[in-house]
Structure 1
Amino acid sequence: MLARMPAGAKAGLVLLHGRGGSSRDILSLLDHAALPDVAALAPEAPGNSWWPTSFLAPTAQMAPFVAAGMQSVAKAVARLRDSGLPADRIWLAGFSQGACLALECFARQQDWGQGGLAGVFGFSGGLVGTADHGTASPELMGHRDKAFDYPALTGKVWISVHERDPHIPLKRARDSARALKDAGAAVQLQVFPGAGHAVMREDIAALRGALNA
């Protein structure tokens, strides 16, 4: 787990890389977003992948990988809290697989502390979900819908996706935004035109704005 822990940090950030990425890669977002005064931790997945399949895979198949990823995130959040940051000044953010894991961790709300986390940024991501639901759909690349059974939430959520993302169906991103809003979070869904799968300048601007607030 790589860390940047500046003295006197007013906010904390747990950054999660995508498939084939690394903690060093994702930590560089701090430089792009010009956030030198934010304490950040970046866990690294075994083999640089949080899970070996699409996040759309059946719940039973995803469960052990999600659980392991959530443990890594919980350790990072605990370390930020031990540094003196309250839970409501700590954010999660990730790209691709890391975005999906960050969104799922935020939605499931582990014992983060009173009031919960400040929020989450899912760059090219969507919720993993809590149970299989419905039938296979072309809109989900031949996978089934998922149920989104989460506790009441507070905090802010940013989800971004391209209209034609090769890994994140637009339907899942929209369903994720709706589920988190229904749970009580303040949600912004950013849909980029065309095809793509990347962290965009609008993503960086949103991250900078939230953590500099």
Structure 2
Amino acid sequence: MIHNPNNIRTAGKPLEEATKVMIMVHGRGGSASDILSLSKYIQDKDFAFIAPEAQSNTWYPHSFLRPLAENEPYLSSALDVMASLRARLQADFNFKLPQIYWLGFSQGACLMLEYVARNAMDYGGIFGLSGGLIGPAETPRTYEGSFSNTPIFLGCSDQDSHVPKERVLESENVFRRMGADVTAKLYPNFPHTINEDELNIVNLLIAGDQQRPATT
């Protein structure tokens, strides 16, 4: 295994005490500590935050727009980390799917969005900042499963140097087709970073999720 699923950092409430957990996935060259620093902007204090860290701080070597095979075996290992983390939260800490939230930035957003698309379920919320689904333009998006109105937010610059806006909009359409409640926002002339408006939307969606009807 390339990426170690046990190389994780935590913040917020202890996992044993929290009623919600957010899996936070860092970008290329970033770290678990970097992405966990965003936890202080999350207004809901019932969260535990958990962040895996990639081997050499990179989840896969090439652009997310390249053919999938070019990013192997790193991509499959990274997706396995996502699966392992979710399984551990469910089995060891008894989190239900609607209590599990996902947030990723840049390469971490791409990885996280690809994982949840392949494992569509009724999560608490999914927040992809400066990212989109992985693969070249002609990739068939034949994902199975339903998000059951899971709130998904996709935020990105309209001229991001790494993430074409067309991929953000394609991802929006895919997630909507799969039953998610999607909010997508492109920010004019914005750099490849996270902005205050995006964090405000994340907080609004978390707060609004309290009013979402429970699914059985």
TM-score category (smaller protein):
0.7 to 0.9
Paired residue type of 1:54: S
SS in 2 for 1:146: coil
2-structure distance, mates of 1:38, 1:182 = 29
Closer, same or farther: CA 11–211 of 1 in aligned 2, 3 Å: farther
Partner of 2:133: 127
Segments of structure 2 that go 5 or more residues without pairing to the other structure are 1-7, 211-216
Give the 5 Å matches for 1:123-162: 123-129=129-135, 144-154=137-147, 155-162=150-157
2-structure distance, mates of 1:201, 1:60 = 36
Deviation (angstroms), 1:63: 4.5
Deviation (angstroms), 1:33: 2.2
Deviation track 1:39-63 (CA, whole Å, cap 9, x = no partner) reads 1110001110111111001122134
1-structure distance, mates of 2:86, 2:202 = 18
Paired residue type of 2:65: L
TM-score by length of 2: 0.84
1-structure distance, mates of 2:151, 2:31 = 26
2:94 to 84, 89, 98: 84
1-structure distance, mates of 2:97, 2:163 = 29
Structure showing the higher strand proportion among its residues: 1
Segments of structure 1 that go 5 or more residues without pairing to the other structure are 133-143
Partner of 2:4: none
Give yes or no for contact 1:106–1:119 (8 Å, CA) kept in 2.
Answer: no
Give yes or no for contact 2:125–2:206 (8 Å, CA) kept in 1.
Answer: no
Give yes or no for contact 1:94–1:121 (8 Å, CA) kept in 2.
Answer: yes
TM-score by length of 1: 0.85
Deviation (angstroms), 1:150: 0.6
Partner of 2:9: 2
Say if 2:110 is the partner of 1:117: no
CA RMSD of aligned residues (A): 1.8
The count of aligned residue pairs is 196
Give yes or no for contact 1:160–1:191 (8 Å, CA) kept in 2.
Answer: yes
